[in-house]
Amino acid sequence: MLSKTAAELSQALSRKELSSVELTQAFLDRIATLNPTLNAYITVAAEQALAQAAQADDMLAAGTGGPLTGIPMAHKDIFCTRGVLTTCGSRMLHNFVSPYDATVVERLQSAGVVMLGKTNMDEFAMGSSNETSYYGAVRNPWDTQRVPGGSSGGSAAAVAADLCVMATGTDTGGSIRQPASFCGITGLKPTYGRVSRFGMIAFASSLDQAGPLSKSAEDAALMMNAMAGTDLRDSTSLDHPVEDFTALLQNSLSGLRIGLPKQHFTADLNPAVQQILQDAIKVLEGLGASVSEVDLPHNHLSVPAYYVVAPAEASANLSRFDGVRFGYRCENPLNLEDLYKRSRGEGFGDEVKRRIMVGTYALSAGYYDAYYKKAQKIRRLIKQDFDDAFRDVDVILGPTSPHTAFKLGEKNSDPVTMYLEDIYTIAVNLAGIPGMSLPAGMLNGLPIGMQLVGPAFSEARLLNVAHQFQLNTNWHTMRPEV
Amino acid sequence: MALDNSDVEKIAHLARLEINQSDIDEVTGRISNILAMIDQMQDVDTNAVSPMAHPFDATQRLRPDLVTESNQRDELQKIAPATQDGLFLVPKVIE
């Protein structure tokens, strides 16, 4: 029962085969058993979850429920939740209980979901392995010696290990897609601005995007129906009509034009990963799609440009954590400067401090043009590459990650090696377009993800392609034995 | 661009971050490596390219200049470490 999708459980709930309270209790029991091993949750909100489940049961009994009513889910600990701890994976916010809900949380709650708790994450969403959390690393349910990917690793591990039905994540450089790939689930990064950032603790404001992590493309579409839409409280939210993201799921793929970036399918890509992708492409061709090569000539500059833009924005956003306004404060400050420096020095972890310093340097007098302005120019070149490619193809397909989940500690010693983990995902964030990862095969008992990328506002089309693929393959139904 | 320890100390001061002296060599080395990776950007001629501030060239939304928030002082003070008479208490740090 706990491995079923939201769409399947929704039917069971509406047919009264089980109640949301029973379902919620079953998930809480599984979390109690497995979370000590996996560390996927930072906070479990059992009492609140059972109260929400009872309310959902009332709505279902009255016939006023929707497709997500009574479905137990989790929120990444970057989303503010009224009355429940929101740490962002940092010592800095170790005691922060928000007085309000993020818009995403509020909208999903209006859809009747049950929040089981808050999932672990890389500190302030900075990381590709979920090893930078103040609350310890999350373990991959497929192999607990391996990372789940980051920064939404807690959400991805929780969905994969059936510790919730679905979860929210955020993606600044690949943080939904890469953990989805490593954990064998479906993750969608929507178009920048389609899902509100209000109440989502900011990392890099021009890149951060909230999205769903789920067991199927169909569930991701149901989540997007609840999450997406203009929010006047978020000045970067786009005024774009909200469509029914499930509307195209059943469409045929006949005539679909798929582009394969020549920069992704090179000799550098693991041949076994390449073979898995070729097999997936054959499935899509069998459903009527055609394939051609596309050129993304500036793709190799996406990691350097990102590691200027994201740290620069982070250095500004994280200046609010000063030891005074909320969160961690050092003991016995000597003076104001000592209060700032020690609170920030002790409250932030190494990776966060590194990025704040890179950002401070890139924005400092004398270096702004050479770094920040240059990166913003390269950002335009990367966006133009995608615009050119989408004149000839409807979606771009490639690997999500260069390989399967790696071992804990394997890449910690060199930040640059870790940064290159997101080589296939970062360009999508710089261009602001949607991308998703879905399970496409297994290698040595570990999942491999396939990335689909589309032009701005093409989420429904991406979900359509993913759903049709999932109707004809069973990679997304595979579950780890934990 | 390679940095030396004094550059890193200056950046850390600008960012108001305390770095332990025992960590400074490692921090300098790692930040230098990151900057070396970033420097790949300098190989590309971008003279004719305009910087991209927003992927859809969107501009900031405006709204009427009206008060829309209600007073939530009591609610907000509940999460503060220390309050008194409706005021936030902060450590005495002004000399």
Whether A189 sits among the annotated catalytic residues: the reply is: no
* Closest chain B residue to A428, measured at CA: B55
Same domain, A232 and A370: no
Up-side HSE of residue A356: CA atoms within 13 Å toward CB? 28
Same domain, A221 and A341: no
Among B10, B41, B73, most A C-beta atoms within 10 A, so best to mutate, is B41
pLDDT at residue number A267: 86
Number of domains comprising chain A: 2
Report how far apart the first and last C-alpha atoms of chain A are (Å, whole number). Answer: 16
Which residues contact residue A230 at a Cβ distance below 8 angstroms, ignoring those fewer than 6 apart? A237, A238, A239, A240, A242
- pLDDT tens, position by position, B33-83: 999 999 999 999 999 999 998 888 888 888 889 998 899 899 889 888 889
- Does A103 map to a domain? yes
DSSP secondary structure string, A400-418? SSSSSPPBTTTTTT-HHHH
Query: In one letter, which amino acid is A327?
Result: G
3-class SS at A200?
strand
Closest Cβ opposite residue B16 in set A232, A340, A432: A340
Residues in chain B within 8 Å Cβ distance of A363 = none
Among B7, B14, B16, most A C-beta atoms within 10 A, so best to mutate, is B16
pLDDT confidence band for B95 (50 / 70 / 90)? low
A290 cis-preceded (ω within 30 degrees of 0): no
Residue keyed to tokens 């309050």: B83
Closest Cβ opposite residue A380 in set B19, B33, B51: B51
- Does A39 map to a domain? yes
Size of interface A-B (CB pairs under 8 A): 153
Same domain, A34 and A178: yes
pLDDT confidence band for B1 (50 / 70 / 90)? low
Same domain, A366 and A244: no
Q: Helices (DSSP H) in B1-95: which residue ranges?
A: 5-14, 24-38, 73-77
pLDDT at residue number B79: 82
- Does A273 map to a domain? no
Boundary of a domain, candidates A374, A402, A424:
A374
A151 cis-preceded (ω within 30 degrees of 0): yes
CATH number at residue A168: 3.90.1300.10
Residues in chain B within 8 Å Cβ distance of A418 = none
Which residues contact residue A371 at a Cβ distance below 8 angstroms, ignoring those fewer than 6 apart? A308, A312, A361, A362, A363, B38, B41
What are the percentages of helix, strand and coil residues in chain A, rounded to 5? 40, 15, 45
CA R_g for chain B: 23
Query: In one letter, which amino acid is A25?
Result: Q
CA distance A316 to A202: 10
DSSP secondary structure string, A8-77? HHHHHHHTTSS-HHHHHHHHHHHHHHHHHHH--EEEE-HHHHHHHHHHHHHHHHHT---TTTT-EEEEET
Catalytic, out of A10, A98, A129, A175: A175
ipTM: 0.94
Question: H or E stretch including B88?
Answer: strand B87-88
Whether A175 sits among the annotated catalytic residues: the reply is: yes
DSSP secondary structure string, A217-263? HHHHHHHHHHHBS--TT-TT----PPP-TTTTTT---TT-EEEEETT
Residues in chain A within 8 Å Cβ distance of B18 = 341-342, 344-346
Q: Copy the structure tokens of residue A321.
A: 């954590």
Q: Tens-digit pLDDT profile for chain A (482 aa)?
A: 999 999 999 999 999 999 999 999 999 999 999 999 999 999 999 999 999 999 999 999 999 999 999 999 999 999 999 999 999 999 999 999 999 999 999 999 999 999 999 999 999 999 999 999 999 999 999 999 999 999 999 999 999 999 999 999 999 999 999 999 999 999 999 999 999 999 999 999 999 999 999 999 999 999 999 999 999 999 999 989 999 999 999 999 999 999 999 999 998 899 999 999 999 999 999 999 999 999 999 999 999 999 999 999 999 999 999 998 878 999 999 999 999 999 999 999 999 999 999 999 999 988 999 999 999 999 999 999 999 999 999 999 999 999 999 999 999 888 998 998 899 999 999 999 999 999 999 999 999 999 999 999 999 999 999 999 999 999 999 999 98
Q: Copy the structure tokens of residue A248.
A: 């195209």
Question: H or E stretch including A450?
Answer: strand A446-453
Same domain, A12 and A154: yes
Query: In one letter, which amino acid is A101?
Result: D
Catalytic, out of A10, A19, A20, A76: A76
- Does A356 map to a domain? yes
Same domain, A308 and A243: no
CA distance A246 to A14: 19
- The reply to whether residue B61 touches residue A235, judged by beta carbons under 8 angstroms, is yes
Domain that holds residue A320: 300-374
Residues in chain A within 8 Å Cβ distance of B13 = 341
Boundary of a domain, candidates A354, A374, A394:
A374
- Does A412 map to a domain? no
CATH for B5-42 (2.60.40, 1.10.3470, 3.30.70, 1.10.20)? 1.10.20
User: Is B22 within 8 Å of chain A by CB?
Assistant: no
Closest Cβ opposite residue A304 in set B40, B53, B94: B40
Which residues contact residue A31 at a Cβ distance below 8 angstroms, ignoring those fewer than 6 apart? A41, A44, A116, A117, A163
pLDDT at residue number A21: 98
Same domain, A46 and A112: yes
CA distances from A290 to A109, A126, A255, A463 (A): 41, 37, 7, 18
Boundary of a domain, candidates A348, A374, A400:
A374
User: B84's torsion region: left (phi>0), alpha (psi -120 to 50) or beta?
Assistant: beta
Query: What are the extents of the domains in chain B?
Result: 5-42
Query: In one letter, which amino acid is B4?
Result: D
Same domain, A233 and A370: no
Among A95, A233, A361, most B C-beta atoms within 10 A, so best to mutate, is A361
User: Is B86 within 8 Å of chain A by CB?
Assistant: no
* Closest chain A residue to B13, measured at CA: A341
Whether A343 sits among the annotated catalytic residues: the reply is: no
Closest Cβ opposite residue B93 in set A336, A360, A362: A336
C-beta of residue A93 within 8 angstroms of C-beta of residue A327: yes
C-beta of residue A428 within 8 angstroms of C-beta of residue A435: yes
C-beta of residue A355 within 8 angstroms of C-beta of residue A126: yes
CA distance A256 to A292: 11
CA A398 from chain centre, in angstroms, equals 18
pLDDT at residue number A295: 98
Same domain, A223 and A316: no
Length of chain A: 482
CA A78 from chain centre, in angstroms, equals 11
Residue keyed to tokens 């927003």: B54
Same domain, A96 and A194: yes
Q: Copy the structure tokens of residue A239.
A: 């005024």
- Does A466 map to a domain? no
Q: Copy the structure tokens of residue A149.
A: 């990917």
Task: For chain B, count helices (H), then strands (E).
Answer: 3, 2
Question: H or E stretch including A290?
Answer: strand A290-294
Pairing outcome for strands B83-84 and B87-88 = antiparallel
- The reply to whether residue B17 touches residue A344, judged by beta carbons under 8 angstroms, is yes
Catalytic, out of A19, A128, A129, A151: A151
Cα maximum dimension of chain B: 60
Closest Cβ opposite residue B91 in set A298, A333, A376: A333
pLDDT at residue number B90: 84
CA distance A229 to A194: 6
- Does A57 map to a domain? yes
